Structure 1
Amino acid sequence: MNEVSKVISDADGLLFDAQARAALAQFIGDDDTLALEAAAAVRTAFHAIERMRAHGTEDRGLSSGALDVLLRLSASADGMTIGDLAQSAGVSSRNVTGLVDTLERDGLAQRSPAPHDRRSVLVKITPAGQEWIENFRRPTQAAMAAIFRDFAPAELAQLRHLCLRLADNQHKLAQYLNGVR
């Protein structure tokens, strides 16, 4: 765990960050800090996984964002538009365009006119991109096995479920707020 954090177990044997709890308690006063602590823990876990992914992809010349796009392309036999890639990744089209620029420069993806819409561009993975994915598969599996060591399958399924519930709640809140304004 993070050297700066003081991660300990509570009375129920559940981990928490004592320094984060103290800072959050000071921030909100007498209110319950559990939701804020959970958000801080999700952020900490996200950063831990991103550090591992970045280490693995940068050694191979790709950012984690470019890897995400390449993985999405590898699952699409017909390719995807920039807009579809952006929507599926939850990022802007401008961000995806830059990532596709990198992948295309490295020979891992290629653009072509979309047959269904002349204004759209279709992005497909190249054979070199497929090879890159194949070479990255085993190290990724080993890294994820290490970071999720001692997690039971049911715990992993519950973690996945909870993270996606958070994302869904955020999406619903954003829709609500955009409708209110």
Structure 2
Amino acid sequence: MKQVHTSSDSPSDPAGLRYDPRVREVMTAFTQGGDTLALEAAAATRAAHHAVERLRSHGSEGRGLSSGALDVLIRLSATPDGMSIGELARAGDVTSRNITGLVDTLERDSLARRAPDPQDRRAVRVHITDAGRAWLDSFRHPTQHAMSAVFHGFTPDELAQLRHLCLRLVDNQRRIEQYLAPGGQ
């Protein structure tokens, strides 16, 4: 993938850190001149998420799968005994109903299959098929190439720090949800 630089590259502040002047202007108006740093960080996080998802979706949808179905397929590829719908939902932090639809799609495309759970006759487990493994094999290299391009110029330490900071956001959000839940503390 060729390296592309446009005039829309973000400028840097005096400390050498990138920012979006349009977001800063809007957030300054919103806060009536107050501190905008957390709001700018939230906007940058959202923009980064969308950038990665657009690239990821472009690659998977061009091959007939949504990014959600791709996530399920990747999880199934790492579990030789398959996973239940509930396990997949918890792993992906989505509803069982959502997972059921994604598994329906994967099953329709012969990339996954449901099978009775040998431990619980009332339950089913979802397994990746050989066709699902082949699909992932064909998708692996283009995905690695695309992620290398989108994270071009990042050092391993920066990538680890980015991962760390993003997961801190997720942890904070989960704490807030627990606090706001009925009976939460």
TM range (shorter): over 0.9
Cα distance in 1, alignment partners of residues 56 and 36 from structure 2: 30
Aligned-pair distance for 1:119? 2.8
Partner of 1:176: 179
Instruction: Say if 2:137 is the partner of 1:157.
Output: no
Taking every aligned residue pair, what percent have the same amino acid on both sides?
Answer: 61
Q: 2:128 aligns with which of 125, 128, 138?
A: 125
Instruction: Say if 2:119 is the partner of 1:116.
Output: yes
Q: Equivalent residues in 2 for 1:1-181 (5 A)?
A: 7-178=10-181, 179-180=183-184
SS of the residue corresponding to residue 9 of structure 1 reads: coil
Cα distance in 2, alignment partners of residues 108 and 123 from structure 1: 10
Unaligned runs of 5+ in 2: none
Question: Which residue identity lines up with residue 104 of structure 1 in the other structure?
Answer: E
Query: Over residues 15-36 of structure 1, what are the superposed CA-to-partner deviations in whole Å (9 max), with x where a residue is unaligned?
Result: 1011111111111223211111
Unaligned runs of 5+ in 1: none
Query: Over residues 75-125 of structure 1, what are the superposed CA-to-partner deviations in whole Å (9 max), with x where a residue is unaligned?
Result: 111000011101110111111111000000000000112222233221000
Contact 1:6 1:19 in 2 (8 A): no
SS of the residue corresponding to residue 118 of structure 1 reads: strand
Contact 1:6 1:18 in 2 (8 A): no
Q: Which moved more, 1:116-125 or 1:68-77?
A: 116-125
SS of the residue corresponding to residue 144 of structure 1 reads: helix
Moved over 3 A (4+): none
Aligned-pair distance for 1:6? 7.5
TM-score between the two structures when normalised by the length of structure 2: 0.92
Cα distance in 1, alignment partners of residues 30 and 121 from structure 2: 53
Question: Which residue identity lines up with residue 93 of structure 2 in the other structure?
Answer: G
Aligned-pair distance for 1:71? 0.3
Aligned-pair distance for 1:72? 0.4
Question: Which residue identity lines up with residue 69 of structure 2 in the other structure?
Answer: A
Highest relative contact order (Cα 8 Å, sep 6+), 1 or 2?
2
Cα distance in 2, alignment partners of residues 13 and 71 from structure 1: 38
Cα distance in 1, alignment partners of residues 50 and 137 from structure 2: 25
Contact 1:112 1:122 in 2 (8 A): yes
Aligned-pair distance for 1:180? 4.1
